[in-house]
Amino acid sequence: MSAAPILPGAAIGILGGGQLGRMLAAAARRSGYRVHVIAPGTATPAGQVADEVHDAEPSPELLRGLAGELSVLTYEFENLSAAAVEAAAEHLPVRPSPHTLRTTQDRAREKAFLREQGLPTAPFEAVTGGEAAAAAVQRIGPPAVIKSAGLGYDGKGQARVDSADEVAAVWPSIGAEAVVVEACIDLAMEVSVVAARGVDGSFAHYGVTENRHRDHILDLSVSDAELDPRTSEEAVAIARAVGAGLDAVGTYCVEFFLDGSGRLMVNEVAPRPHNSGHLTIEGAATSQFDQQLRAVCGLPLGSTRRLAPAAMVNLLGDVWDAGTPPWAEAFRDPAATLHLYGKDAPRPGRKMGHITVLGDDRQEAGRRALELRNRLAPHVVS
Ligand SMILES: Nc1ncnc2c1ncn2[C@@H]1O[C@H](COP(=O)(O)OP(=O)(O)O)[C@@H](O)[C@H]1O
Ligand SMILES: [Mg+2]
């Protein structure tokens, strides 16, 4: 594919209509690009801020037909037809590549990739069917987590079992035959590295972010996790190796578990901007979305310099449980920024928006972010 950079005025295609596409589209349009969103729905979060919306599931035919209008195609989530993306790649640059998508859209393939690269993961086995899963739980040693290989996000398609005998009871809730069985890790901390890789192999990263989850969904991210410097360096080195091993182009994220003995394990890889990187919009010189734009357009990566310690708290559907939140509260903190994604149905667990707070230090930023959410939704307990 052409190595010439893609410049303002060109049209970028985004597969997927969610909030990650919305924030990429906003960044791209601000810099003078045109944005086409390809996803079912006429008023999706990304579609609301796009120049053009193609209201359809991406198929090989649709993407071949659109190729002439677009300079580059990227994606904001992984649950896509890899065949459609491969068909598109015959006609225009697709970044990250269909190969990167195929590897990361399936937990079993992703874990196999990590193992081949010699990168640390929790002990796991990829198996098919409930009986094989029970046998794997027995071999790995309970407690274990069973995760569907495809189509999982925010803890969906997952179940924890305390013995192999429990597998039969939880099996229907997994909703898939192909699964990964993983040892349950006694977590001291969860962290992530949001990074970017350019067309030329250049690398940039936003440091190590601490992530706290609630019901398996990210709740709070705070910049610059307090780890011993060697662990931080190792996390960044692993993130770099993951990007190089995938030949990734764009912003991507590596999620880690840290156990009580200080051992890092890769949990999963996202070949796109990540919820834990939203704090880079206000907190870094180049946001993860501006970085994605630069990378997929073949431009030099931007500075990832941290402007201030930052924290981000998610606003899930439960924030609306007592009615419309008192939004004025979100603006009382002069260093807070409210993001709402334009979703009209606040279902439980649905990511509706987030708030970023910049602070003098990371603890203070984290505390203020949680306080703000508490004022919006006192009934939400983190
Ligand atoms: N093997 C495990 N040990 C301990 N906690 C886990 C394990 N797997 C998942 N979790 C918890 O569930 C969360 C979501 O799981 P993850 O595999 O990242 O799926 P998703 O694709 O839904 O983000 C993790 O961030 C972690 O808090
Ligand atoms: Mg995850």
What is the CATH number assigned to the segment(s) 123-183?
3.30.1490.20
The pLDDT score that the predictor gives to residue 153 is 62
Pick from 216, 258, 269 the residue to mutate for probing ligand 1's pocket: most ligand atoms within 8 Å of its CB: 216
Q: What CA–CA distances, in Å, run from 45 to 91, 113, 156, 380?
A: 27, 32, 21, 24
The pLDDT score that the predictor gives to residue 237 is 98
Specify burial of residue 347 (Cβ count, 10 A radius: 0-12, 13-18, 19+). exposed
What is the CATH number assigned to the segment(s) 187-376?
3.30.470.20
Of 294, 288, 290, 238, nearest in space to 264 by CA: 238
Pick from 257, 269, 275 the residue to mutate for probing ligand 1's pocket: most ligand atoms within 8 Å of its CB: 257
The alpha carbon of 216 and the centre of ligand 1 are apart by a number of angstroms equal to 6
Return the beta strands (E) in 17-135 as ranges: 34-38, 52-54, 72-75, 124-128
Residue 89 has pLDDT above 50, yes or no: yes
**Mean pLDDT, range 83-94, rounded to an integer:** 97
The pLDDT score that the predictor gives to residue 161 is 97
The pLDDT score that the predictor gives to residue 47 is 98
The pLDDT score that the predictor gives to residue 1 is 44
Does residue 38 come out as left (phi exceeding 0), alpha (psi in the -120 to 50 range) or beta?
beta
Residue with tokens 């939140």: 325
Of 305, 307, 289, 304, nearest in space to 365 by CA: 307
- The SS3 call for residue 178 is strand
Tokens of 64: 């071949």
**Mean pLDDT, range 304-321, rounded to an integer:** 98
Residue 2 has pLDDT above 70, yes or no: no
User: Atom 16 (ligand 1): residue with closest C-alpha?
Assistant: 155
**Mean pLDDT, range 219-241, rounded to an integer:** 98
The alpha carbon of 147 and the centre of ligand 1 are apart by a number of angstroms equal to 9
Residue with tokens 């919306």: 53
Q: Which of 108-122, 144-158, 222-236, 352-366 has the lowest mean pLDDT?
A: 144-158
Does residue 224 come out as left (phi exceeding 0), alpha (psi in the -120 to 50 range) or beta?
left
User: Which ligand ends up closest to the CA of 154?
Assistant: 1
Average pLDDT, the chain: 96
Does residue 49 come out as left (phi exceeding 0), alpha (psi in the -120 to 50 range) or beta?
alpha
71 lines ligand 1 (CB under 6 A): no
The structural domains of the chain, with segments of one domain joined by +, span 11-94, 123-183, 187-376
User: Atom 15 (ligand 1): residue with closest C-alpha?
Assistant: 155
Predicted confidence (pLDDT) per residue in 191-203, tens digit:
999 999 999 999 9
Specify burial of residue 345 (Cβ count, 10 A radius: 0-12, 13-18, 19+). exposed
How many residues can be counted in the chain? Answer: 382
- The SS3 call for residue 45 is coil
Residue with tokens 């919006």: 376
The pLDDT score that the predictor gives to residue 151 is 75
Pick from 124, 158, 209 the residue to mutate for probing ligand 1's pocket: most ligand atoms within 8 Å of its CB: 158
The pLDDT score that the predictor gives to residue 382 is 78
- 11-94: what fold? Rossmann fold (3.40.50)
How far is residue 37's CA from residue 51's CA, in Å, rounded to a whole number?
Answer: 8
The pLDDT score that the predictor gives to residue 154 is 64
185 lines ligand 1 (CB under 6 A): yes
Are 354 and 283 a contacting pair, CB within 8 Å? no
